[in-house]
């Protein structure tokens, strides 16, 4: 059966060509490093020059704005190095009123991650300082806690998937349900991966591909969570590029995986259309309507 499956979609490869790779936008960690040693607490011109070299947009910022923003961050516990990382990745922070910067930091403090972990999060993902609605933030964090279990686990989740803050509860719930009930992945493994930052369609496609290759089997419901599994780890499924997933995890070629994606998308759409037709027929029957 496995050999037939491989043969079938290999035969379709020559007829299928990728038009465009799907790009999923998400918050990305700050990759820019401006070093300021602990003893160099004051913001020096050399720091500003280096920041501008990395992000030329910062050249538009007046020196007084630099100093004012730096003082604000310092007064709330972030050192000069963290400040520079933040503004290089999110230069708009420098133009904000002091009160707005303070409010954003305090909003995140209310999440109870602890100073050390909070500053690691904000330094890695400076876009999170764009938050303005404290009530919405608390509500979303509370929802994430019902899934993750603890404040520390929510923090871990955000470190891997910061864009869960941009997703609706319904959208997250769909992915969580699929991961837990269909793939039967344990919550700690979900938290350690980037799964919740990926579209459900991508998660499902990769999971089904592995299943049809005979490389993934759902764990029995009553099995010990600590018992080793022969399935690929979730991070190997979700944290990898198409090429790495195909060649390193599935041991097939990228072309073969891309062919499967095309075929599976069509298969899924046909199934959805069939389900819609069935629902429509059931509604007509229940209402006594006859064509």
pLDDT, tens only, 92-128: 999 999 999 999 999 999 999 999 999 999 999 999 9
Identify the CA nearest to 50 among candidates 79, 82, 84: 84
Q: Phi/psi of residue 240, each to 5°?
A: -120, 155
Q: Is the pLDDT of residue 275 over 80?
A: no
How is residue 213 annotated by DSSP? T
Residue 291, pLDDT score:
47
Structural domain includes residue 258: no
| Domain of 96, in residue numbers | 45-132
In a domain, 227, yes or no: no
Note whether residue 104 is domain-resident.
yes
pLDDT attached to residue 193: 98
- As given in the structure block, the two tokens for residue 7 are 């043969």
The per-residue pLDDT for 23 is 37
As given in the structure block, the two tokens for residue 268 are 């899924």
The SS3 of residue 80 is helix
Average of per-residue pLDDT across 144-173? 96
* Cβ atoms 12, 263 nearer than 8 A: yes
Q: What does the DSSP 8-state code read for residue 249?
A: I
Query: 279: exposed, middle or buried (C-beta count within 10 Å: 0-12, 13-18, 19+)?
Result: exposed
140 found inside a domain: no
pLDDT in tens, 202-258: 999 999 999 999 999 998 887 777 778 899 999 999 999 999 999 999 999 999 999
- What total of structural domains would you count in the chain? 1
CA dihedral sign, ordered 189, 193, 196, 200? negative
Contact 259, 16 (CB under 8 A): yes
Residue 37 within any structural domain of the chain:
no
> Do residues 244 and 203 touch, judged by C-beta distance below 8 A?
no
Residue 283: what pLDDT? 62
Tell me what the mean pLDDT of segment 61-82 comes to: 95
Percent of the chain with pLDDT over 70: 81
Other C-beta atoms closer than 10 Å to the C-beta of 286 total 8
Backbone angles phi, psi at 32, to 5 degrees: -95, 135
- 192 assigned to some structural domain: no
Has residue 10 been placed in a domain? no
| Per-residue tokens: 32 | 């820019």
Q: What's the token pair of residue 55?
A: 């992000």
- Residues 27-48 have a mean pLDDT of 67
pLDDT at residue 253, rounded to an integer: 98
Residue 85 maps to a domain: yes
């Amino acid at each position: 059966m496995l050999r037939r499956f491989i043969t079938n979609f290999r035969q379709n490869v020559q007829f299928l060509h990728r038009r465009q790779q799907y790009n999923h936008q998400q918050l990305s960690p700050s990759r820019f490093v401006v070093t300021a040693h602990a003893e160099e607490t004051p913001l020096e011109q050399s720091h500003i020059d280096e920041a501008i070299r990395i992000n030329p947009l910062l050249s538009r910022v007046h020196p007084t704005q630099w100093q004012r923003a730096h003082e604000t961050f310092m007064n709330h516990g972030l050192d000069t190095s963290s400040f520079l990382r933040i503004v290089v990745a999110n230069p708009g922070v420098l133009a904000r009123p002091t009160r707005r910067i303070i409010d954003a930091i305090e909003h995140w403090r209310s999440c109870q991650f602890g100073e050390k972990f909070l500053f690691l999060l904000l330094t890695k993902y400076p876009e999170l300082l764009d938050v303005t609605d404290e009530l919405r933030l608390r509500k979303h964090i509370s929802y994430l806690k019902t899934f993750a279990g603890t404040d520390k686990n929510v923090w871990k989740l955000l470190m891997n998937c910061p864009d869960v803050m941009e997703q609706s509860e319904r959208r997250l719930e769909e992915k969580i349900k699929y991961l837990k009930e269909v793939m039967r992945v344990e919550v700690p493994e979900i938290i350690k991966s980037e799964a919740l930052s990926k579209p459900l369609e991508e998660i499902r496609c990769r999971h089904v591909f592995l299943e049809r290759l005979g490389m993934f089997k759902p764990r029995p419901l009553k099995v010990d969570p600590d018992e080793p599994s022969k399935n690929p780890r979730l991070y190997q499924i979700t944290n990898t590029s198409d090429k790495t997933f195909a060649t390193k995890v599935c041991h097939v070629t990228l072309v073969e995986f891309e062919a499967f994606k095309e075929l599976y998308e069509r298969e899924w759409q046909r199934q959805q259309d069939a389900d819609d037709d069935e629902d429509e027929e059931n509604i007509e029957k229940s209402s006594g309507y006859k064509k």
